[in-house]
């Protein structure tokens, strides 16, 4: 029925918009006065609003789905992703058209309803999700004037200012929200972030202290499911703990436009990039069918068939780069690194602009232990393709492994300058850890702070930042970050133990005991919590209970020391064995590896021992070691070694069986989507 909706009914409809992006936790709105509209001509229909909101949700979901399809196809893992790239960009364009139409249909009738904060909040939320930060600011500003006592309105206004790059205004909005329940704690933390970005660390610290004071009394003792207390605007939600994914350099302009909220520009840039992508380049007629068959076999995990088909495609099109890249993929999956490297080098000579082949070559060289060649490959790639952020990242990993921590941090920083599509949190984590290894704690704090900013609801990120603050004696900031970690994940024993340690260090013994008990309720063996609890109880005059906790701490400390000594001994044995091998001292290497197996009987140690025994001509002993490696879950390389040994012993049927097992293991690896 058409007519003027009541305030309650209108609010229920408008909150549908907020379901598009639940940016602010808790109840956001109080009852508004009736809208200043009393005729059927200017009042929106309830059905029309609901339908428009549903169309917005669906169009946005379709746009994001097409974007995800683009991301899945960009690595070009099997070389047949060209049609998927075209379909994804077309899907984004079509969804964007529907999205904008639905927003107009939602926006037009509501603009006639004045005097309603909820109207402006709903429109602002829809616009912010669409990347229209400036228009969202206007709507949230209007809402804040109409509802000056609602913390969530100011939180949303702060988010919109932040998205628009207006950090000083964002700080003012968060400061206002911090004075209003229920948004004070979250707003205080957001305020501290804005003040830090604005170069006012003193005020930022005050914001963190306000956050801590608001949250600390509320932290529960019992473990409860994780929460997402910190709002963050954005089209794609950052997934913490995942490997970073960068687009090929030719797609970077599209993702830059997407980050700016210029979605039509982004779609057009993606479309241009697809037309230039080697994945859509035509092949000579004779190569089309065998290459298609090879790709199908690779996807199905049929490695032998894939190799045959792709070799036929290379023979039919010897001057085409893409078939050689696919052949290298198959050869790498068959553990034939040298041949894979040769094919990738040939592919790059044929098409120096093929970033995928260059990255594959560098990674294959690194996996084969040729670090210097891998470094040169990534550097050459950057010389020819400066926007290859993934090359910077791979260089960072090489440097980090080699102990060149400052160079690693610089490489990770260069990679982060082109933010990855997903996994940015991981880049800043690696950068921060490299800086810590280089004893640059101030730089590590900057890296870990950025990590928290891109993934604010990931408790380990807050903990790592807190641990770095502790190294510099910045206890208040450390306590705030540990409190944030405990708020996000109340079951995080490490966060509670860190809080206990800080309270103890600052003489707050009752608080230390409470935080330690919270940690031990999640992990009864946490040594930091046991020490903090025991010491705090002794200081509080409860010597008997304190000594009990300290006795448990000392026993746990002894067990941890024994584990550390065992690990150190194992590493020493492996390093010594490697040194003996380099000098050709096989008997000494075997002796060290046998001692290592006694300490840690796993597939890796047994297979290394088996390979060395084989080199020493001790065939039966090598076979025994490799059988143990198989029993402990050894992979295709172990089965291949077994096959060689069994053939040497004349056990041809057993040898063939292990060759088949090796092939099956490689096929399963392909089917799992992890080719090497």
> How many of the other CB atoms lie within 10 Å of CB of 306?
27
* 470 in a structural domain: no
* 502 in a structural domain: no
Which residues 6+ apart lie within 8 Å of 160 measured at CB?
124, 128, 133, 136, 137, 140, 233
Strongest mean pLDDT among 13-17, 28-32, 465-469: 465-469
Tokens of 186: 């979250």
Q: How far apart are CA 424 and CA 406, in angstroms?
A: 19
> How many of the other CB atoms lie within 10 Å of CB of 149?
11
3-state secondary structure of 459: helix
Same domain, 72 and 188: no
Q: How far apart are CA 2 and CA 205, in angstroms?
A: 53
- Dump the DSSP string for 424-441: HHHHHHHHHHHHHHTT-H
Classify burial at 338, counting beta carbons within 10 Å of its beta carbon; exposed 0-12, middle 13-18, buried 19 or more. Answer: exposed
Sign for the pseudo-dihedral over CA of 455, 20, 150, 113: positive
Tokens of 608: 């290394």
We report the CATH number of the domain holding residue 446 as 1.25.40.10
Tokens of 139: 């709507």
How big is the CA angle at 221 (ends 181 and 501), to the nearest 5 degrees?
A: 95
Backbone angles phi, psi at 19, to 5 degrees: -65, -15
Task: Specify the higher pLDDT residue, 36 or 608.
Answer: 608
Same domain, 6 and 138: yes
Give the model confidence (pLDDT) of 190-200 as tens digits.
888 888 877 77
Last residue of a domain, one of 328, 356, 386: 386
Tokens of 109: 């009738």
* 667 in a structural domain: yes
Same domain, 142 and 18: yes
Same domain, 6 and 114: yes
Backbone angles phi, psi at 101, to 5 degrees: -65, -45
State the SS3 of 514-563.
HHHHHHHHHCCCCHHHHHHHHHHHHHCCCHHHHHHHHHHHHHHHHHHHHH
* 466 in a structural domain: no
Give the model confidence (pLDDT) of 596-643 as tens digits.
888 888 888 888 888 888 888 888 888 888 888 888 887 787 887 888
Q: How far apart are CA 651 and CA 101, in angstroms?
A: 72
* 261 in a structural domain: no
Give the model confidence (pLDDT) of 132-147 as tens digits.
999 999 999 999 999 9
Q: How far apart are CA 103 and CA 96, in angstroms?
A: 10
Dihedral, CA of residue 565, residue 566, residue 567 and residue 568, to nearest 10: 50
Same domain, 409 and 323: no
Same domain, 16 and 106: yes
How big is the CA angle at 171 (ends 167 and 176), to the nearest 5 degrees?
A: 150
Q: How far apart are CA 194 and CA 199, in angstroms?
A: 9
Last residue of a domain, one of 386, 412, 446: 386
Same domain, 377 and 406: no
Structural domains counted in the chain: 5
Q: What pLDDT is attached to residue 304? A: 87
Q: How far apart are CA 357 and CA 379, in angstroms?
A: 14
For residue 580, name the pLDDT band (cuts at 50, 70, 90): confident
Span 103-128, average pLDDT: 86
> Is the pLDDT score of 274 beyond 70?
yes
Q: Which residue has the tokens 């409809």?
A: 13
Same domain, 60 and 128: yes
Which has the closest alpha carbon to 186: 203, 211, 166, 164?
211
Buried b (16+ CB within 10 A) or exposed e, 217-245: eebeeeeeeeeebbbbbebeebebeeebb
Beta bridge partner(s), residue 49? none
Biggest CA–CA distance in the chain, Å, is: 97
Tokens of 119: 């109207």
Alpha helix locations (H) across 130-200? Answer: 133-146, 151-163, 167-178, 184-197
Backbone angles phi, psi at 422, to 5 degrees: -140, 155
Task: Specify the higher pLDDT residue, 84 or 304.
Answer: 84
Same domain, 663 and 576: yes
Peptide bond into 35 cis (omega under 30): no
pTM, 2 dp: 0.81
- Residue pair 132/163 in contact (Cβ under 8 Å)? The answer is no
Q: How far apart are CA 670 and CA 226, in angstroms?
A: 35
Domain that holds residue 343: 285-386
Query: Where is average pLDDT lowest: 38-42, 429-433, 549-553, 620-624?
Result: 38-42
What are the contacts of 170-175 at 24+ separation with CB within 8 A? 170/194, 171/195, 171/198, 173/144
> Is the pLDDT score of 352 beyond 70?
yes
* 159 in a structural domain: yes
Q: What pLDDT is attached to residue 41? A: 52
Span 383-395, average pLDDT: 96
Which residues 6+ apart lie within 8 Å of 103 measured at CB?
56, 126, 127, 130
Tokens of 521: 């309720």
Same domain, 121 and 176: no
Give the model confidence (pLDDT) of 149-191 as tens digits.
998 899 999 999 988 888 889 989 988 988 887 657 788 888 8
How big is the CA angle at 125 (ends 197 and 142), to the nearest 5 degrees?
A: 85
For residue 1, name the pLDDT band (cuts at 50, 70, 90): very low
Same domain, 431 and 350: no
Q: How far apart are CA 557 and CA 304, in angstroms?
A: 53
Last residue of a domain, one of 367, 386, 405: 386
* 554 in a structural domain: no
* 515 in a structural domain: no
- Residue pair 476/492 in contact (Cβ under 8 Å)? The answer is no
End-to-end CA distance of the chain: 62
Q: How far apart are CA 136 and CA 130, in angstroms?
A: 9
Same domain, 5 and 93: yes
């Amino acid at each position: 029925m058409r007519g003027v909706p009541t305030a309650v009914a209108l609010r229920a409809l408008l909150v549908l918009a907020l379901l598009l992006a639940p940016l602010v936790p808790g109840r956001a709105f109080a009852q508004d006065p009736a809208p200043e509209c009393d005729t059927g001509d200017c009042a929106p229909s309830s059905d029309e609003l609901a339908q428009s909101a549903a169309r917005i949700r669906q169009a946005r979901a379709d746009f994001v789905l097409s974007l995800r399809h683009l991301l899945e196809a960009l690595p070009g893992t099997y070389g047949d992703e060209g049609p998927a790239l075209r379909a994804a960009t077309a899907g984004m364009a079509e969804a964007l058209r529907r999205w904008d139409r639905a927003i107009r249909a939602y926006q037009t009738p509501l603009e006639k309803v004045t005097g309603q904060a909820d109207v402006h909040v709903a429109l602002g939320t829809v616009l912010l999700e669409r990347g229209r930060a400036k228009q969202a600011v206007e709507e949230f500003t209007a809402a804040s004037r109409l509802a000056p006592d609602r913390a969530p309105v100011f939180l949303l206004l702060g988010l919109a200012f932040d998205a628009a790059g207006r950090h000083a205004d964002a700080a003012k909005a968060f400061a206002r929200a911090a004075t209003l329940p229920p948004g004070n704690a979250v707003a205080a933390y957001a305020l501290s972030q804005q003040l830090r970005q604005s170069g006012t660390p003193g005020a930022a610290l005050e914001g963190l202290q306000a956050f801590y004071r608001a949250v600390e009394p509320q932290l529960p003792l019992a473990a409860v499911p994780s929460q997402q207390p910190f709002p963050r605007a954005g089209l794609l939600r950052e997934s913490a703990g995942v490997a970073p994914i960068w687009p090929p350099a030719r797609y970077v302009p599209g993702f830059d436009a997407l980050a700016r909220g210029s979605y039509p520009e982004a779609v057009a840039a993606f479309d241009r990039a697809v037309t230039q992508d080697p994945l859509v380049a035509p092949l000579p007629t004779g190569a089309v069918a065998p290459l298609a068959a090879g790709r199908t076999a690779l996807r199905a995990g049929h490695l032998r068939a894939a190799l045959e088909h792709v070799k036929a495609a290379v023979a039919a099109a010897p001057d085409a780069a893409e078939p050689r890249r696919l052949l290298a993929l198959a050869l790498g999956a068959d553990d034939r690194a040298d041949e894979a490297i040769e094919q990738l080098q040939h592919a790059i000579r044929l098409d120096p602009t093929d970033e995928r082949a260059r990255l594959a070559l560098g990674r294959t060289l690194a996996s084969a232990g040729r670090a210097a060649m891998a470094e040169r490959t990534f550097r050459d790639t950057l010389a020819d393709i400066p926007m290859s952020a993934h090359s910077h990242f791979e260089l960072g990993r090489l440097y980090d492994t080699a102990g060149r921590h400052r160079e690693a941090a610089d490489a990770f920083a260069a990679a982060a300058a082109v933010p990855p599509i997903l996994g940015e949190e991981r880049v800043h984590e690696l950068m921060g850890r490299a800086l810590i290894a280089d004893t640059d704690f101030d730089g590590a704090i900057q890296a870990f702070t950025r990590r928290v900013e891109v993934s604010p609801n990931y408790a380990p990120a807050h903990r790592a930042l807190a641990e770095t603050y502790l190294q510099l004696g910045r206890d208040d900031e450390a306590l705030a970050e540990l409190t944030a970690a405990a708020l996000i994940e109340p079951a995080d024993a490490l966060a509670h133990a860190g809080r206990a340690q800080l309270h103890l260090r600052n003489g707050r013994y009752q608080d230390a005991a409470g935080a330690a008990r919270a940690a031990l309720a999640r992990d009864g063996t946490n040594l930091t919590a046991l020490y903090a609890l025991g010491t705090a109880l002794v200081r509080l005059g409860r010597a008997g209970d304190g000594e009990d906790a300290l006795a448990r701490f000392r026993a746990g400390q002894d067990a941890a020391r024994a584990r550390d000594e065992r690990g150190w001994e194992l590493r020493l044995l492996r390093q010594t064995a490697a040194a003996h091998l380099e000098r050709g001292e096989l008997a000494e290497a075997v002796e060290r590896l046998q001692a290592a197996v006694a300490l840690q009987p796993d597939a890796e140690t047994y297979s290394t021992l088996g390979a060395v025994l084989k080199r020493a001509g001790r065939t039966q002993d090598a076979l025994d070691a490799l059988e143990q490696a198989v029993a402990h879950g050894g992979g295709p390389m172990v089965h291949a070694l077994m096959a060689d040994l069994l053939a040497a012993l004349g056990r041809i049927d057993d040898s063939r069986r292990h060759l088949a097992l090796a092939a099956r293991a490689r096929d399963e690896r392909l089917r799992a989507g992890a080719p090497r």
